[in-house]
Structure 1
Amino acid sequence: MVTIPIDWALYQTYLAGELVHEIFMATILHRPVRDMDLGLLDIDTCIALEQLANVMATAYSNAVRLKINMVRYNDALDKDESGRSETREENLFNRFPPEEERFLTTPSVVIDSGGRIIVWYLPGALTTMIMKDIHGATHSMSGLLKHSITTSKITQWRTNRSNFHISPDGMVTPGCINISPAWFQQGREKHGFPNLDPEDGFSPEVSAALKGDAGHNITTSLQRSGIIVSAALRVMHPDLYWAGMETQVRLGKWASRYELDKMHYHLQRWTSVFNVVSIICNRRSPLIEIPNVDQQHLIS
């Protein structure tokens, strides 16, 4: 298990993840919750974590089983599914026919025929305070969101103006930005974890949105939501959770070693086990064909 520096914000994420995991396990196993070290977690965050854990436990106890086997379905897909061949789509449709529509109204998990959880449905998982916190953080990025909208190439649909709509009350600025303390640039030849000089092919850097004094405020504003999302992952996918923890710590040590002070600053204060956060406001997703995904089996 990775050792997380106590003075890093990620350590509070670790404590939050352990708290959610403990409450979740205690609830589904019907045993008392053990006393735990809450570190610097404030009371509002602890209340939010408890609510998250309870909703997840409720969902886990309310399984909705589908007939589809996701492993077999995945094996049936080619590496480069285009989604444009009617014959191919019909073949997949016949092999894996969709089931009748189901409307979920309470916290639930959707599982396949092999008992694998493929969807967590968690209405009510976020407290009002957390939602206000997220709204406030988003509002503070209005300038970045506004300037992210493009008007030129329609192929850049992720940020094209035609795919966004104005908030009715004007409280949310449409846009789409990516934020990362260690942004991995595309088009680099070397892959894998950095163990060489940053000038020698491996060059993650602080994303543009976090550069400057305003970037410090953004990192801080995202801390509580990063803790909540990461704590949920501690239960949903522990292997991915711990891999994210290790990646963040190793990146921080790498940044410190090569005196990348700005990157190290943000990594010390980054609470999410995910390396990138996408802020998307009021997007209309155009109809597209998604490779490797049969539209009949999308669950929204």
Structure 2
Amino acid sequence: MYDEFLSEMDGDPEFRALIHMLQKHLLVSGDLSVMKWKGVDLKRISTILKTALNNKVKLPCSAAALALASPQRRMGLLQTSLGKISKPCVILDKDDIALIYYLPDLLSYADQRVIFESTSSISKQLYSSIVSSGKQSSWRVAEENFVQIKRPLVSPGCVNFSPGWLAQGHYGAENPLKPSLSLSGGKKDDTANVKSWLKQIEPLQLLSNILLALLHPELHAAGIKALHHMRKHKTAKGTTDILTYYAMLAMGKGLNLRSKNYKSNSNTSQEQLCYFLDDYGHMQLPNGRGESV
């Protein structure tokens, strides 16, 4: 699978034709000659994306103002009277810069069941990631930010996966990229479960990459370039093997997580990509507590 993704950057005719077909359908209509590709429902993607692109919601502030504002000021800028949003849409700043693509029902119920059932194999890692209330921790793993239900199919949690990780303070050439501990560390059974899970969600990896190629081709190209770099350059033991089944350009996933009003100050000058997979019936911008639901 990894080599297939690398071929995207090398001008793979099939992938390029699929993206061109979807772009044409979104912008100037036209029929889809391919409805499904490797388990990905292209017709569903194009229908929901077209609905979102025709339903633009504009905020009264600019992306630049949000980026420069203090956390307190930023929350004030985001306060709107939009209420709950339940239909596909694009959230824009006042200068028409896309901030959020809200795409409910992008996955069919059957696809959602497959993903949630396969993700149950890493429930142990998800469960152990949560830090109980009262203990100092990142908001990403704080217990109060997760929806707790009885007998869940998948345990709520937040785990980071990266095939090539640079530990903080280890940026020199003498420090090779290393797989994150969630992929290479821990018990042998846990690592095997993660590997099995990544292979089972191959259609989701494809879907996320197709969306990125459509909505932000520059970021998609940068992600492919990063995978190329990890494949060709000196890396720690285990990275090359992981790259044979890890090809998702998005490095973070949140599951039933209430997202805080948050801005990263350590990423590059380019955008930071985040996907949230959940079964909420609506979306709304930050409330008075700085949460998005």
Q: Return closer, same or farther for 1:31/1:10 CA change in 2, 3 Å cut-off.
A: same
Please name the residue that 1:203 is paired with: 176
Q: Name the structure, 1 or 2, with higher relative contact order (CA <8 Å, separation 6+).
A: 1
CA contact (8 A) 2:91 2:99 kept: yes
Aligned: 1:242 with 2:221: yes
Alignment RMSD, CA only? Answer: 3.7
1:272 counterpart letter in structure 2: M
Please name the residue that 1:168 is paired with: 150
**2:49 is matched with which residue: 50, 56, 60?**
56
**1:124 is matched with which residue: 105, 116, 124?**
105
CA contact (8 A) 1:9 1:270 kept: no
CA contact (8 A) 1:20 1:53 kept: no
Q: Distance in 2 between the 1:206 and 1:64 partners?
A: 39
Q: Return closer, same or farther for 1:231/1:7 CA change in 2, 3 Å cut-off.
A: closer
Please name the residue that 1:263 is paired with: 239
1:270 counterpart letter in structure 2: Y
- Using structure 2 for the length normalisation, give the TM-score: 0.72
1:139 is paired with a residue of what secondary structure?
helix
Please name the residue that 1:8 is paired with: 3
2:127 counterpart letter in structure 1: K
Q: Return closer, same or farther for 1:122/1:12 CA change in 2, 3 Å cut-off.
A: farther
Matches within 5 A, 1:84-95: 89=73
Matches within 5 A, 1:113-152: 113-151=94-132
- Using structure 1 for the length normalisation, give the TM-score: 0.71
Matches within 5 A, 1:172-251: 172-190=154-172, 196=173, 200=174, 202-211=175-184, 212=188, 213-251=192-230
CA contact (8 A) 1:55 1:125 kept: yes
Q: Distance in 2 between the 1:299 and 1:176 partners?
A: 16
**2:231 is matched with which residue: 252, 259, 266?**
252
Q: Distance in 1 between the 2:151 and 2:15 partners?
A: 34
Cα offset for 1:171? 1.8
Once the two structures are aligned, what percentage of the paired residues are identical?
Answer: 20
Q: Return closer, same or farther for 1:150/1:111 CA change in 2, 3 Å cut-off.
A: closer
Task: Give ranges in structure 1 of 5+ residues lacking alignment.
Answer: 1-5, 84-88, 191-195
Q: Distance in 2 between the 1:165 and 1:60 partners?
A: 30
Aligned: 1:112 with 2:93: yes
Q: Distance in 1 between the 2:141 and 2:87 partners?
A: 34
Indicate the structure (1 or 2) with the bigger Cα radius of gyration.
Answer: 1
Task: Give ranges in structure 2 of 5+ residues lacking alignment.
Answer: 266-284
